[in-house]
Amino acid sequence: MVSNDRVPQSEFRYARRVQFAETDLAGVVHFSWYFRYLEEAEHAMWREAGLSIAPAGRELGFPRVSASIDFHAPLCFEDVFEVHVRVDAISKRSIRYAHTITRGETRIATGSMTAVCVERLPDMRAVDIPDTILAKLLKP
């Protein structure tokens, strides 16, 4: 579904600390939080490019069509970690991101998520990603 018809350049490193509410009774970060960490990194990459994933008043959205993570080592309370996110592939209507979470030299997790550009109302119809977005997101 996602082709490689452009060569994306964008990548971003996002630093974050584990918060208390993100841990579970096993004493480590609950796995569902990693998906939020990946998303936070993506949105920070958009901001770095001068963009917002959801600017006030705009009727485009970027819902996910797939998300996956492989977990290699746990994160604990107050750990400082880094999410490296890059645009892995892009097509007219979708973007695939690849992510690596690390804590120092330790590889914590690797992820992949694909989002598609849609008109939010009334029915989330897929549309082309605006060129103005691509130009900023895929800066050489």
Residues forming the site for its own copies (CB under 8 A): 19-21, 23-28, 30-33, 35-36, 39-40, 43, 47, 52-54, 56, 61, 63-71, 74, 76-78, 120, 124
Task: Indicate the residue among 121 and 140 with the shorter CB distance to its own copies.
Answer: 121
Q: If residue 98 lies in a helix (H) or strand (E), which one and from where to where? A: strand 94-103
DSSP states along 46-62: HHHTT--SS-TT--EE-
Q: Which is nearer to its own copies, 7 or 24 (CB)?
A: 24
Select 76 or 135, whichever has its Cβ closest to its own copies. 76
Min separation Cβ 140 and its own copies, Å: 26
**b/e map 73-104, b = 16+ CB within 10 Å:** ebbeeebebbbebbbbbbbeebbbbbbbbbbe
Nearest-approach distance from CB 60 to its own copies, in angstroms: 10
Q: Which is nearer to its own copies, 35 or 138 (CB)?
A: 35
- Partners of 30 in the β-ladder: none
